Amino acid sequence: MIVIKDMNKWYGDFHVLKDINLTVKKGERIVVCGPSGSGKSTMIRCINRLEQFQRGSLTVNDVEMIDDVKNIEAIRREVGMVFQHFNLFPHLSILDNLTLGPIWVQKKSKEEAEAIAMKYLERVKIPDQAHKFPGHLSGGQQQRVAIARSLCMAPEIILFDEPTSALDPEMIKEVLDVMVELAEEGMTMICVTHEMGFAKKVADRVIFMDGGEIVEQNTPHEFFDHPETDRLQLFLSQIL
């Protein structure tokens, strides 16, 4: 579904992504971890073109990325994204946040978009919040809305960028539970997270990034029990 070949990116002189190679198959669940500043967000933002890269190639569902608006729109349709800070529109109700994309991008009718929105709000277990505004919801509820919003666009893959790291501890589980359900239903996903319990439970593969490189990748069992590089051993000793 996603093929990244020799992706390189610089911010000015700073080489932020170095020869990234990554293939994600349909239905695969990938967890990405690594120290702060290692390039995890930059890599996944390159996948849905929130950032540009200077060298290498990216193919999503057999569509090769080129710098063309139509092409970027095509990728955005297939790739959903959930951010650390939810990024809901504060002045719109939950329902309006969810129907915005389906109405304006997918040209669905208001009625159809609202039916889809309610279906996914039920799926993330907060249909009763539909008419409230984001500021009236807890962080965990807002993040579940953000996941529902992504699902409303029927993406082929969802990218998560540290979806629980801005949440109070008691809200982390309600968001992870939704993510586990999605994973078990076969959604293709790339999750940047340090929730190692989640990684062990659902990941097909765990990737360790450091200094802009993919240093190591393996099945969760091998990754956690037999880390090969000193860098990963050090990282795991710090977070576990």
Is the Cβ of residue 87 or residue 109 nearer to ligand ADP in the bound state? 87
| Residue 40 in the binding site for ligand ADP (CB under 6 A) | yes
Shortest Å distance, C-beta 129 to ligand ADP: 30
**Whole-number minimum distance, CB 46 to ligand ADP, in Å?**
9
Instruction: Find the shortest distance in angstroms from Cβ 216 to ligand ADP.
Output: 15
**The only residue of 22, 29, 30, 42 in contact with ligand ADP, by rule CB under 6 A:** 42
DSSP codes joined into one string, 129-171? GTTS-GGGS-HHHHHHHHHHHHHHT--SEEEEESTTTTS-HHH
Say how far apart CA 82 and CA 214 lie, in whole Å: 22
Nearest residue to 141 (alpha-carbon basis) of 154, 128, 151, 150 = 128
**Where on the chain is the footprint of Mg ion (CB under 5 A)?**
41
Q: Please, which residue, 41 or 193, has the CB nearer to ligand ADP?
A: 41
Of 34-42, 67-75, 80-88, 214-222, the segment contacting ligand ADP by CB under 6 A is 34-42
CB count, 10 Å around CB of 56?
17
Q: What share of the chain is helix, strand, coil (3-state, %, to 5)?
A: 40, 25, 30
Instruction: List interacting residues with ligand ADP (CB under 6 A).
Output: 11, 14, 16, 34, 36-42
